[in-house]
Structure 1
Amino acid sequence: MVNVKLKPIALAVAGVLAATSAYAADAIKADKVDVVSTTPMPGIGLSINKVPANIQLVNGDEFKKQQSVTIADYMNNNLQGVSVVDTQNNPFQPDVTFRGFTASPLLGTPQGMSVYVDGVRVNESFGDAVNWDLIPMNAIANMSLIPGTNPLFGLNTLGGAISVQTKSGRTHQGGAAELSAGSWGRKTGSAEIGGVSKDGSVDYFFSANAFSEDGWRQASPTDVRQFFGKVGWQNETTKIDLSYTNANNDMIGNGLVQRELMQTLGRSTIHTKPDQTRNTLSFLNLSASHWFNDDVMFSGNAYYRNSKRKTLNGDVNDGYTGDDTNLAAYQSDCLANTGGDADEWCSGAINRSSTKQQSYGLNGQLTFNQALAGKSNQFVIGASYDISKIKFNQSEQLGSINASRGIDPLYDAEITTNLHGKTKTWSLFGTNTLSLNDYWHVTGSARYNHVKVDNVDQINAPGQSYTLLPSDPNYLASDETLTGNHTFSRINPALGLNFTPTKDLTVYGSYNEGNRAPTSMELGCANQYAPCKLPNAMAGDPPLKQVVARTFEGGLRGNLTEDIRWSAAVYRTENSNDIQFITTPSTINNMGYFDNVGKTRRVGIDTSLAGKLGQFGWNVGYSYVDATYQNDLSLANEVNSTAYTDGGGNDVINVRKGDRLANIPAHQLKVRLTYAVTPDWTVGSNITAFSDRYMRGNENNSHVANTPGFYEGNGKVAGYAIVNLDTRYNIGNGWSVFGKAINVFDTEYNNGGLMGETMFTSNGSFDANGNPSGFFSPGAPRAGWVGVRYEFLAPKAQ
């Protein structure tokens, strides 16, 4: 056996865990050496003073203290540069934006962030979507938000990466059970237990969560069920963990709502219903690490991930051409047209989709913590191989809109899309950090990504052309085939420099490159002549180019005193061949296609000041981002006051270089305050403020309000500020009670918007003529919850 002491293992693990509380307002120590993992896989780790990035670190206990529903909820309230858009208006389905890049559960949202759990990338293979409801909160030991285009975190890391490490029985011993209830009929329950065998070789951790609520908006119930388990074994040199995650969730979030409906019927009203998503997950992950000697460590994993997603959406039928305005008349019209004209005479449609995704792969790396030419040096080299298989189908069932804006189905469902896809990705990566002396540290990294995407249309065989219109006599139905083979590859480099003149100051600068290959979803919806209704139907498409991002970042961080930390970062990321979803005119339900729109740029700053003074703790963060188009382009649009008819007869707007991207606030301020009233009683508050943002449909930033024939609003989502409160009291003997209130001043606000066309009047009546309107994602009103927690079998303090 290799003679390796436990000391280096213990130091590495303890350092990584200690780093997770680096910026917690209530636990800051300047003399601690924070260690972070520089790759998705846990390794020996690197002192944060040598990392050329503004990494934000969160201890899992912070989620419990603030009673966060998801990691997205926590990030929106606490972390620099993060904002959300509640497009679905479900607490488990927000769109998260960081530095102008998005991680979203919605198909049709171009993704710009990667998310890892225990070294496994959990962006779904179909569309790179991120399902926040599939990450159990009480299983999280710590989380890192890594900024910028870090190539070590692989594909889709254009604006940043989220890395989650789960609990084990070795790090989280003891048990806990928790119940809470309150507003909107919300009821939650959770339990966890962890421990180590008597001989210290085996550890275990198990947790379960149950969440149920009626929702604050009409017809919006949610039920979430999650389970996580991990069993581990280790000796002096080797550690092996096998974890399993299971989820079975049923979520309804009825999305954006028309401005006039909110004004007349209240903010809890909905546009159409239902908008249901059912997610299930089975996720196995086998991870292992082995120390060959005191300086060389291997870590790797093998995983299998099986997720299923079913959606049911009640929508206005885009093909409707009738002019009746009462329920009985257009229902009669729909039933009378049993031939091929039914699509034109039925006002509503139920769209169903089913996505089955299987992913499996291997990841491994070697870390060498050995001197180079007598200087401190760490070298990591690794590889990964991932395969994803998808089966996607979608059907449409025509019907009639009823008085409650639901859909009464009147015909049988017809399958409109049936796609099988397979994606193979393999990567090689390496990174080296050399300390030239005690003050200067140089890091060089690179990753090669190779992606092959194969789509096979189960309905239409390959055709002859991608450019013929359906009205063209040479047009064939097979021109809309989804079948295609696409390959993308690229080497992405990175270079960083850190200067640490004292233990209380770090200055750094870096340059990084990364790429995002188009997904099966985007490659299956890139034809402007055959637009898609997302997240549903797709049509045959020309190939898209991969997105390449280049990021410059510089910053400083340090300690003013033993208990006060600060940081400041400035960055500039430019995307080439950026992909966006282009909405087509004359559509009610967001039909469109994906296209490369040229260059976009995000320039911004992130600052923070965190500390503790006696019983009082604080964490203040301010961020600014200027997210803009960097070339001129034309976008289809009928509701913007600057829209005009181009030479091809299309209604468009002109976007100019420098116009801001939609739904991204330029300014944000976040304040977290805590106060220990007694050793057993703490209170806390989160204050968040966001500036206004442009709505989708106003990408040229030029829409003028109250222009006849166009949307009456100003084309912006107003800025807002909200206050949340939380408290916890330890009764004793393991018992504690807690409470939380959100939006305590009951501020009415929206956090996202879209300019489009509606077929409803202000009182909810159907209007076949259609009118320009604004659609908003309304923020939740004031609400509160209380709960009780019991902790047991905790190890005694040494």
Structure 2
Amino acid sequence: MTRLSALKSAFLATCALLPMAANAQDALPTFDVVNVSPVQGSEIAKDKIPSNVETVGASELDHTRAPSLLDNILQSVPGVSLGDQTGNAFQRDVNYRGQTASPVLGTPQGIAVYQNGTRINEAFGDVVNWDLIPEMAIARMTLMPNNPLFGLNATGGALSIEMKNGFTYQGGEAQLFGGSFGRIQSGAQYGWNNGTYSAYIAAEGAYDRGWRDHSSASQIRRMYADFGARGDTTEFHLSFTGADNKLGSVAATPIEMLNQRWSSVYTWPQSLHLQMQMVQASATWKPTDTLSVQANGYYRNYKSARFDGNGTEVQDNGGVFGIADATGTLLDINRAGPVANTLAGDAILGQIDRNSVKTDSYGGSVQATSTTQLFGHDNHFVVGASVDHGNTNFAATSELGTIDNNLFVTGLGVFIDQPAAGLAPVNLNAKNTYLGLYATNTFDITSQLAFTAGGRFNWAQINLRDLGGNLPLLNSNNNFQRFNPVAGFTYKFTPNITGYAGYSEANRAPTPLELGCSDPNNPCLIDNFLIADPPLKQVVSRTIEGGLRGEISGGSSADAAAPPPYRKAPIKAVSVDDGWKLRWGLSLFRTENSDDIIQVVDPANPVRGYFKNAGTTLRQGVEAKLDLNWNRWTAYANYTFIDATFRSAFDVNDPFLQAPVGVVPGNHIPGIPAHRLKLGADYAVTDDWKVGASFNYVGSQYLLHDETNVYPKVPSYWVVNVNTSYQVTKNVEVFGLIQNLFNQRYYSSGTVFNTGGFNTAGGGNAFAFNDPRSVVPGMPLAAYAGIRAKF
């Protein structure tokens, strides 16, 4: 798709909804209650949750403050930081308390993500594709640590996303904005109801050509629609989510190249095509004022296709081009020989890796919630069950190629097929079945003291089958099961100060990818070649958390003061008063993971690797936050400290040294910054004109694959963003924002790599690296401007 056609798609997505727009108004739920399970309908007072739960409203996901969903999450939620393994703003990692929800296959996934009660961690690798979620259609998000009711992968917490519908949003809205690096994005939404029936639809389109050299442009097309009906005791919703996205990718680059040119890339082309369609149905029945029953079901079709130019480990055996030798371990390339189609004697070898994932998944949940008093005391009881099934076909091939002086990989039409060397096309079927039974009860011992206890039983079956016939060691049946308890207290010292303490356990089963690449004697090219399936243990987390939260206020209008800055409603006049309100929170947490799974490189061939259980790891720290609302000012300050360490001794392989090295207890886990600080403020200059700024600081972190902590860290960095908006008329607003105002040069993440990774044996040595650090550079200054209208 050209930039012009992508712009046309984005524009039409907006215009298609404009004729329906009329009298926009928000009627979204308040944030005094949160759901304690993935299924909506289990709401309880937020102040009775024995953990540091965070809620994010629709107005927080506002493009007048940040250009994307992930940027808004970063700015709004204490403890959250963003990682970048792909070099694409639509495909970053969300990191929380040292755990990750990432779109990258092979990344350990420690956060469970749900959309309207449906788990959207994809079946094959538990990855989370943030670009598939229609941002404009989000009503609110809840980030909840220390709660096993959210099932597998909630070792670090769970993120529950609630979408809008015609009962919670009425009217229409359209917006268009664009700016640096060819970014153009539009969206529109419309909601309606007549009291009995409702309808809601949202559509978004975006184009971004990227800022790195040779970046493939990204094109985003996604939509969400919901039809609802309700009566006196029932409510039903049928919804559809669809996306068709093409994403450019420019991953980590040797630091020596970036020192010469900040926008340089290592090897290319790299691209990803994602397609998804999901149908959901949900129903609620409330036979009495204290009893409700919820049920939902879904079908999800997911496809991904990756194209990635890389170096190769294939070697020349001196025979005929394209023919494997008798051992199957070397591919005869025949440099500068007499045979036709021979390569130039100085050709540098590479390969084009292609893989595809095609998944059909379906499942459902049923749940009952009771608020009937127990022994004359308030009580909140939830019980439920869920089932999820996924059927995935994974295919991967590698085509031999050459690398030119610009590091572009050109395919030669020869596909590497050497099963004896573990380099053969993969055709794998993976079936996942997950069952869950859960219950929780919160009992008010007194009007101030509440006790919560419950748990969830998880059962997981993961079966792998080699469809190609070359890799029989992949065939396996794997079963995992565990009961995870939760217990905690909340105590209201005063009406405005609450203390809490809790304990919980959670687990995650190894993914099909991890199971298919876990043999140290048969390392694989992650994520292209899967070879063997020796057993891996499930990861089990044990979390202790405690803290305080509260608010203080004053002034004549304190009770009517607006919400914190990231919950303010856009397009509203600001009245002058002397009321102020300060919300604050302090939380201490300690999470110990047993049998944590890590990715290890192969010492003989650093482009290969495998997954292994690495014993016990520890993530502990503190979260502190302040939200101030005073007169025309809103401001926030958040700080997080994380001490993430290995607690067991084990060996890993150093990609640079190409030799085993020993990890000892106390070594820090790579890729987890110890310090994060976020500051921000918004000021209403007039009732129509607002300005704001944010400051994000991220501390230094060890490089990925530096488990022994011997290499220089990825340096700490800070970024300042500014934004402004002006209310032109009652229904029209213009806005502008600048990311990285001071044009800071920083690295968002990095890894240790093999400086001799290019196979130049017998060929030219055009690329020589000495520094084993490969890093992802941060985006330079970027400016955007846009317009939004409500009707």
Using the size of structure 2 for normalisation, the TM-score is 0.87
Distance 1:252 1:306 in 2: 22
Q: 1:773, CA displacement in angstroms?
A: 2.1
Give the aligned residue type for 2:530: M
Structure 1 residues 287 and 689, CA gap change in structure 2 (3 angstroms) = same
Structure 1 residues 682 and 253, CA gap change in structure 2 (3 angstroms) = same
Matched, 1:361 2:369: no
Matched, 1:315 2:281: no
Question: Mapping of 1:563-574 within 5 angstroms?
Answer: 563-574=581-592
Question: Mapping of 1:444-483 within 5 angstroms?
Answer: 444-460=453-469, 478=471, 481-483=473-475
Give the aligned residue type for 2:272: T
Question: Mapping of 1:634-653 within 5 angstroms?
Answer: 634-639=651-656, 651-653=659-661
Q: Tell me the equivalent position of 1:225.
A: 221
Q: 1:345, CA displacement in angstroms?
A: 8.2
Matched, 1:127 2:135: no
Matched, 1:559 2:576: no
Question: Mapping of 1:85-124 within 5 angstroms?
Answer: 85-124=83-122
Structure 1 residues 601 and 436, CA gap change in structure 2 (3 angstroms) = same
Q: Tell me the equivalent position of 2:740.
A: 743
Distance 1:618 1:768 in 2: 49
Give the aligned residue type for 1:172: Y
Q: Identity across aligned pairs (percent)?
A: 35
Q: Tell me the equivalent position of 2:761.
A: none
- 1:193 counterpart (190, 193, 197): 190
Distance 2:83 2:36 in 1: 29
1:69 and 1:137 in contact (8 A); partners too: no
Distance 2:80 2:112 in 1: 15
Matched, 1:782 2:774: no
Matched, 1:497 2:486: no
- 1:181 counterpart (163, 178, 181): 178
Give the aligned residue type for 1:395: T
Distance 2:609 2:411 in 1: 25
Give the aligned residue type for 1:570: L
Distance 1:39 1:53 in 2: 14
More displaced stretch, 205-214 vs 765-774: 765-774
1:611 and 1:619 in contact (8 A); partners too: yes
1:226 and 1:247 in contact (8 A); partners too: yes
Q: 1:599, CA displacement in angstroms?
A: 0.3
Q: Tell me the equivalent position of 1:163.
A: 160
Q: Tell me the equivalent position of 2:401.
A: 399
Residue 333 of structure 1 aligns to a residue in which SS?
Answer: coil
Give the aligned residue type for 1:252: G
Matched, 1:301 2:296: yes
Q: Tell me the equivalent position of 1:371.
A: 373
Distance 1:578 1:107 in 2: 17
- 1:18 counterpart (30, 49, 65): 30
Residues 73-121 of structure 1 show CA distances to partners (whole Å, capped at 9, x for unaligned) of 2222232211222110101111221100011100111111110000000
Q: 1:16, CA displacement in angstroms?
A: 8.4
Q: 1:72, CA displacement in angstroms?
A: 2.5
2:623 and 2:641 in contact (8 A); partners too: yes
Distance 2:339 2:462 in 1: 41
Structure 1 residues 337 and 389, CA gap change in structure 2 (3 angstroms) = farther
Residues 286-337 of structure 1 show CA distances to partners (whole Å, capped at 9, x for unaligned) of 01111011100011211001110000000011234699xxxxxx99728878
Q: Tell me the equivalent position of 2:34.
A: 36
Question: Mapping of 1:41-440 within 5 angstroms?
Answer: 41-148=39-146, 150-197=147-194, 200-220=195-215, 221-264=217-260, 266-320=261-315, 333=335, 347-413=349-415, 416-440=425-449
Give the aligned residue type for 1:117: Q
Distance 2:790 2:767 in 1: 59
Give the aligned residue type for 1:697: H
RMSD between aligned alpha carbons? Answer: 2.3
Give the aligned residue type for 1:97: N
Q: 1:766, CA displacement in angstroms?
A: 4.9
Q: Tell me the equivalent position of 2:599.
A: 581
1:277 and 1:310 in contact (8 A); partners too: yes
Distance 1:180 1:263 in 2: 33
Distance 1:154 1:136 in 2: 24
Structure 1 residues 605 and 322, CA gap change in structure 2 (3 angstroms) = farther
Distance 1:608 1:507 in 2: 15
Q: Tell me the equivalent position of 2:577.
A: none
Distance 1:247 1:320 in 2: 41
Give the aligned residue type for 2:701: R
Q: 1:379, CA displacement in angstroms?
A: 0.5
Distance 1:755 1:630 in 2: 22
Distance 2:64 2:340 in 1: 56
Matched, 1:754 2:762: no
Question: Mapping of 1:509-588 within 5 angstroms?
Answer: 509-561=501-553, 562=558, 563-587=581-605
1:16 and 1:45 in contact (8 A); partners too: no
Distance 1:306 1:69 in 2: 28
Give the aligned residue type for 1:180: F
2:383 and 2:439 in contact (8 A); partners too: yes
Q: 1:522, CA displacement in angstroms?
A: 0.8
Q: Tell me the equivalent position of 1:729.
A: 726
Using the size of structure 1 for normalisation, the TM-score is 0.86
Distance 1:542 1:495 in 2: 35
1:334 and 1:345 in contact (8 A); partners too: no
- 2:617 counterpart (584, 593, 600): 600
Q: Tell me the equivalent position of 2:704.
A: 696
2:668 and 2:709 in contact (8 A); partners too: yes
Q: Tell me the equivalent position of 1:630.
A: 647
Distance 1:340 1:49 in 2: 72
Residue 487 of structure 1 aligns to a residue in which SS?
Answer: strand
Residues 146-174 of structure 1 show CA distances to partners (whole Å, capped at 9, x for unaligned) of 123x1100001000111100011111111
Residue 717 of structure 1 aligns to a residue in which SS?
Answer: coil
Residues 700-739 of structure 1 show CA distances to partners (whole Å, capped at 9, x for unaligned) of 1134xxxxxxxxxxx2100011100111111114111011
1:760 and 1:766 in contact (8 A); partners too: no
Distance 1:496 1:338 in 2: 73
Residues 238-260 of structure 1 show CA distances to partners (whole Å, capped at 9, x for unaligned) of 11011101000000111111111
1:117 and 1:164 in contact (8 A); partners too: yes
Residue 522 of structure 1 aligns to a residue in which SS?
Answer: helix
Give the aligned residue type for 1:610: D
Structure 1 residues 360 and 341, CA gap change in structure 2 (3 angstroms) = farther
1:291 and 1:297 in contact (8 A); partners too: yes
Residue 62 of structure 2 aligns to a residue in which SS?
Answer: helix
Q: 1:406, CA displacement in angstroms?
A: 1.2
Give the aligned residue type for 2:97: R
Structure 1 residues 679 and 770, CA gap change in structure 2 (3 angstroms) = closer
Distance 1:188 1:494 in 2: 43
Distance 2:56 2:337 in 1: 57
Distance 2:207 2:505 in 1: 42
Distance 2:647 2:175 in 1: 50
Residue 411 of structure 1 aligns to a residue in which SS?
Answer: strand
Structure 1 residues 106 and 491, CA gap change in structure 2 (3 angstroms) = same
Matched, 1:609 2:611: no
Residues 479-509 of structure 1 show CA distances to partners (whole Å, capped at 9, x for unaligned) of x621100000011000011111221011000
1:70 and 1:133 in contact (8 A); partners too: no
2:74 and 2:82 in contact (8 A); partners too: yes
Structure 1 residues 518 and 16, CA gap change in structure 2 (3 angstroms) = farther
2:334 and 2:343 in contact (8 A); partners too: no
